[in-house]
Each structure stands twice: as structure tokens, then as C-alpha cells.
Structure 1
């Protein structure tokens, strides 16, 4: 378990595949800037995704409010130990929690933990140029723009860049 200031990141378990969680992944507002918007999710697809973490270095976390234990989102860390890198992602599924600093707390907790892992020299993440919330999150956590994939993906029929960010750990 990872402890932030207001949230905890706990290992995502089969019991976390709830109607609420599946609903987040199927909510057009929640996934409007994610490639999850192209898929329909159910308990089986979520369980299959969770199984991809078994026996790997990768981590899948449930983001929970410290005070109540309520699940509000998920976070991932995909490790490439051979290269000393880890790519992070986050989804705040509960719109009522947006804009309250909880995503930043979860993100800083996740990326800080990743940066402290032995052999990790670089933390990375990416987002669309129109995802202003995620852009602010990454910049505030010290990640710097490293590369741009011009007009890589379409959102509502319009091309958008994917912006790739990174922070070296000093290891």
C-alpha cells in the first residue's frame, strides 16, 4: 500500500471489479480522452486485464480516499527493468472528485514510489495535448516534455498530438 496525503494506493484486487469500476470505464465523460472509449467493458474484460499483471513487475492500484476507503480511480506502473524505466498512468473515475487535488496526490504518490524503486532511472507518462488536467498533473510533478507525436490520435474527428513526458530519478 502506498500512502499519499489524502489518498491511498492499494493493489487492485478481483473484489475491486465492481459495477462502479466497470461503469467508470464505460462512462463517455470519464474516458473521453482515453483509448478505453473505443471498447465496451464488463466484469470479464476487467478480470482479464487484471490477470495481465500476474507474474509481472507491473503494478495496478486502486486509488482510495484515506478517510473513507472509497475507491475513486486507478493507477498503473509498467516497469521495464532492463531499461530502468517505468511508465505511469492514472484514471480518476469519480467525476465528483475531479479538481480537488486528489489526482495530484495520487500521481505524486505513484511517481514518487516508482522513482524510488531500485534500478529505476526514469519515470515516463504520456497524454493527448487536449488533456489539460493530465498535462498540469505531470508538469506539477516535475515531469518535463520530452517528445511529441504530431497528430497521432483523433478526438471527435480532430487530430491531436500525444505529448510524452519524463523525469530522471538520479539513480
Structure 2
């Protein structure tokens, strides 16, 4: 099986939708999310100061590849609350997921988990990827909970992989295999 050219689809749920990230999502509020230390404290994004230009460059890089880049939209408010990306390895039928809930009032309310499961289901069932992967720092409890609640399994732990606040921390690598393939 090979992954054909694609577009990022809209995935609907009563609580939120995943829509293709487009130019309308490139705004100062989005840039502010990436510069808010609490939002990126467990991400390598924490090492950069983000600008509208750097975000536009990232958007274009995602468009030019075979990757998926979703804006997470809250259904009842219509508000853009975060982003979810899937980096595609077409040769091995693997998608590596990353997520950010940027709007503080939507954190810890299950929207990240819901978006994660919607994307995983789409990629495993509709697109028939063989494997979904993700990684996070061992101190990122909310992300570890998403791994657990979405039935991902820990594949590996790389010891002292990152420096976080001058302390060495592990990276936890998780995966979910397509049960049909």
C-alpha cells in the first residue's frame, strides 16, 4: 500500500471539528500561543521566539509535504482552540502526531484527547496507516494521559534525552498499531 496525494480533511464531532489549517488561522493569537511558556514548556518549540513569518513558513512547509495539519475548532463557539499535525512517513505507513491546545480556557477539558482520537481513527481506519506514533517528555503528565486514554502503548523510553529547566528528563515514545493490518 502507498499513501496517495491528499488534502487535509474536515473531521466533525458534536464538540469540535478538525479542519484544514489555512491562512485564516495565521493570526497574532496563534503566534501568542506559541510564545506562551505554559503552552510549549514540554516542546522543542520552547527554544524559539515565534513570529507571524515563522508560523507562515511552517504552514507552507506542512502544505508542501504529505503531512496533515489541522486547526482544532470548538463547535459551539466556533473558536480556533489548538492545532494537531500528523507527519507522514509514506514508505513505512506511519503517522507521527503532535498537538497543542493553545487557548487556556479549553485545557484540561478533554478537547485534546478528543481531537487526538478523531485524528488517530481517521488515519488508522480511513487512510489505513499501519502505525501511529508520538513522543513527549516524561514529565508531561497531560500528554501521557492522552497516550493512555487513546490506547497507545509505550514503545521506548530514551533516558535523559532532553534538558528541561537544566534537568535531564526522559522522552517517552508511544505507538498504536492498526488492528486490521
Q: Which SS does the other structure have where 1:52 is aligned?
A: helix
Q: Distance between the aligned counterparts of 1:119 and 1:143, measured in 2?
A: 17
After TM superposition, give the deviation of residue 53 of structure 1 in Å: 1.7
Match of 2:98 among 70, 75, 89: 89
Matched, 1:165 2:174: yes
After TM superposition, give the deviation of residue 138 of structure 1 in Å: 1.0
Give runs of aligned pairs for residues 42-121 of structure 1, distance below 5 A: 42-121=51-130
Match of 1:130 among 113, 117, 139: 139
* TM-score between both structures, scaled by the size of structure 2: 0.91
Structure 1: 4+ residue segments shifted above 6 A: none
Q: Which residue in the other structure is 1:9 paired with?
A: 18
Q: Distance between the aligned counterparts of 1:161 and 1:36, measured in 2?
A: 17
After TM superposition, give the deviation of residue 5 of structure 1 in Å: 4.0
After TM superposition, give the deviation of residue 155 of structure 1 in Å: 0.8
Q: Which SS does the other structure have where 1:30 is aligned?
A: helix
Aligned residues: 171
Q: Which residue in the other structure is 2:6 paired with?
A: none
Kept in 1, the 8 Å contact 2:128–2:178? The answer is no
After TM superposition, give the deviation of residue 67 of structure 1 in Å: 1.1
Kept in 2, the 8 Å contact 1:4–1:106? The answer is no
After TM superposition, give the deviation of residue 110 of structure 1 in Å: 1.1
Q: Which SS does the other structure have where 1:60 is aligned?
A: strand
Q: Which residue in the other structure is 1:154 paired with?
A: 163
- Structure 2 gaps of 5+ residues are 1-9
Kept in 2, the 8 Å contact 1:81–1:119? The answer is no
**Structure-2 change in CA distance of 1:39 and 1:138 (3 Å):** same
- Structure 1 gaps of 5+ residues are none
Deviations 1:50-82 (A, max 9, x none): 011223220111001011210110000011111
Match of 2:149 among 137, 140, 147: 140
Q: Which SS does the other structure have where 1:53 is aligned?
A: helix
Q: Distance between the aligned counterparts of 2:145 and 2:71, measured in 1?
A: 22
